[in-house]
Amino acid sequence: MEILKTILSVTGIATILTVLIIVAEKFLNNYGECKIDINEGEKELTVEGGSSLLSSLASNKIFIPSACGGKATCGLCKIQVIDGAGPLLPTEEPFLTPDEVKNGVRLSCLVKIKKDIKISIPEELFNIKEYNATVSRITDMTHDIKEFRFDFDEDEDIKFKAGQYMQIETKPYGKIKEKAIRAYSISSVPSDSNGVELIIRRVPGGLCTTYMHEHINKGNRVRITGPYGDFYRRDDSNQYIFMAGGSGMAPIKSIIMDIIEKGLDKEMFFFFGAVGVRDLYHTDFFRGLEKEYPKFKYIPALSNAVPEDNWKGETGLVTDVMKKYIDTGNGKHAYLCGSPGMINACVKVLTFMDFKEELIYYDKF
Ligand SMILES: Cc1cc2nc3c(=O)[nH]c(=O)nc-3n(C[C@H](O)[C@H](O)[C@H](O)COP(=O)(O)OP(=O)(O)OC[C@H]3O[C@@H](n4cnc5c(N)ncnc54)[C@H](O)[C@@H]3O)c2cc1C
């Protein structure tokens, strides 16, 4: 009985304190209406103070890249604040270069709107839209990779550059009560504008990938925003080297298909690194492209083929295999996508082979 009384009184005190904190938050931190001035008067928003700059902009349909969904872990939601953001927070500092700090760049997920604020954002961010999409196809690619097709509603179209990414919002599922937002590169071509295709690798215990692999079915509706990112093809080279691993194939597939579809006369090598045969996918698709476009070459390389794989192709690290086909980086562009370890190794080898650092483009994830 005594224990029960103690539990009840502790719970009661905790509940009262929580209510007091919520009431205090509401009345003491009541910032009222605040104005957000964008690009020196180009747009002005009136928002309720107290929320983050990132979420206030999103609720006005201005979407800033944020692969972690505002959790201050990805560092992508940088915005130049001209005035009204308050002092820089220690939690922002690790994500900002000294130049960015000098120019007033801030993490918009950590800037709380407490008064009128002036910001500057690049024009292309106004092109980012919210789409309510229907899952129209789910294809098993490997033991841990699925490809998804999302169809937009009839009147919705997307304009993007091959290589860019979208952000998916998950809904609560199972024991997971909160929503999550994650970034996924578009694997389809820009000309296919009434939807997007994404290639998603399952991360064990991952919030979004478990949702996508286990809780999403054909016909489900998904909220998706985009396009985001500056990983896209620059037009000024005739020779491209592409290197990818796992789901990193997604943006590379989009870029290669876009080049071919536009009839551009480019020499292209695509090196795809995988562990074993079970990690290869879209092989027939790329072999088909090789036959149709003699200037395109697809070279999958297995780092750990087992005898049962009966593999006759290239083996070893994708960087070593690439060196067998490419003698110098002079005049060539490289586009890489995969894990941070793979990208770092590729950049090291490519710069050693005289690829210009500024002509090596990549997305790490
Ligand atoms: C610009 C960009 C583009 C991306 N494009 C793609 C894409 O096309 N396809 C794709 O599959 N993913 C892509 N990602 C990664 C994706 O956004 C998620 O980070 C990933 O799917 C994991 O999300 P999750 O919610 O399942 O895992 P979380 O719940 O975020 O993480 C669960 C655990 O797994 C770890 N973890 C997180 N990510 C990885 C990883 N990639 N490998 C191993 N462990 C990890 C975390 O540290 C954590 O411990 C991209 C990321 C960025 C930034």
| Ligand 1 site residues, Cβ closer than 6 angstroms | 67, 165, 180, 182-185, 199-201, 203, 205-209, 229, 247, 250, 363, 365
119 and 150 fall within a common domain: no
Ligand 1 atom closest to 246 (CA)? 11
Domain boundary among the residues 94, 110, 125 is at 125
What per-residue confidence (pLDDT) applies to 201? 98
Ligand 1 atom closest to 229 (CA)? 1
Domain count, the chain: 3
Ligand 1 atom closest to 231 (CA)? 1
CB atoms within 10 A of CB 177: 7
Asked if residue 14 is part of any domain, the answer here is no
Mean per-residue pLDDT pooled into runs of 10, the chain (365 residues): 73 69 64 95 95 95 90 93 94 95 96 96 93 97 98 93 96 90 97 97 96 96 95 88 98 97 94 97 97 96 93 96 94 96 97 94 95
224 and 284 fall within a common domain: no
261 and 316 fall within a common domain: yes
147 and 212 fall within a common domain: yes
And the tokens for 206? 């991952």
What per-residue confidence (pLDDT) applies to 20? 65
What per-residue confidence (pLDDT) applies to 173? 93
109 and 61 fall within a common domain: yes
Task: Quote the CA–CA distance of 360 and 336 in Å, as a whole number.
Answer: 8
Q: CATH no. for residue 102?
A: 3.10.20.30
Q: Which residues pair with 184 in a beta bridge?
A: 166
Q: Which residues pair with 360 in a beta bridge?
A: 334
Asked if residue 26 is part of any domain, the answer here is no
Domain boundary among the residues 94, 125, 156 is at 125
Which residue has the least CA distance to atom 43 on ligand 1? 203
335 and 268 fall within a common domain: yes
Asked if residue 317 is part of any domain, the answer here is yes
Three state DSSP letters for 77-95: CEEEEEECCCCCCCCCHHH
What's the gap in Å between 304 CA and the centre of ligand 1? 23
294 and 353 fall within a common domain: yes
Q: Which residues pair with 169 in a beta bridge?
A: 181, 223
119 and 137 fall within a common domain: no
157 and 210 fall within a common domain: yes
What's the gap in Å between 266 CA and the centre of ligand 1? 32
> What is the DSSP pairing of strand 333-338 with strand 360-364?
parallel
**Three-state DSSP class for residue 5:** helix
Asked if residue 20 is part of any domain, the answer here is no
Amino acid at 266: K
Q: Which residues pair with 197 in a beta bridge?
A: 149
pTM: 0.88
Task: Quote the CA–CA distance of 211 and 208 in Å, as a whole number.
Answer: 5
CB atoms within 10 A of CB 174: 9
- Domain span holding position 304: 239-364
Task: Quote the CA–CA distance of 226 and 131 in Å, as a whole number.
Answer: 8
334 and 357 fall within a common domain: yes
Residue of 46, 43, 227 lying closest to 119 (CA atoms): 43
Asked if residue 81 is part of any domain, the answer here is yes
219 and 275 fall within a common domain: no
Task: Quote the CA–CA distance of 236 and 230 in Å, as a whole number.
Answer: 16
294 and 354 fall within a common domain: yes
Asked if residue 8 is part of any domain, the answer here is no
Burial of 40-75, coded b for 16+ CB within 10 Å and e otherwise, reads eeeeebebebbbbbbbbbbeeebbbbbbbbbebebb
Q: CATH no. for residue 352?
A: 3.40.50.80
Asked if residue 338 is part of any domain, the answer here is yes
What's the gap in Å between 328 CA and the centre of ligand 1? 33
Which residue has the least CA distance to atom 48 on ligand 1? 206
Q: CATH no. for residue 191?
A: 2.40.30.10
What per-residue confidence (pLDDT) applies to 25? 60
CB atoms within 10 A of CB 17: 10
What's the gap in Å between 186 CA and the centre of ligand 1? 15
Task: Quote the CA–CA distance of 180 and 70 in Å, as a whole number.
Answer: 9
How many Å is the Cα radius of gyration of the chain? 24
Asked if residue 17 is part of any domain, the answer here is no
Task: Quote the CA–CA distance of 196 and 54 in Å, as a whole number.
Answer: 25
Domain boundary among the residues 228, 247, 275 is at 228
Amino acid at 65: P
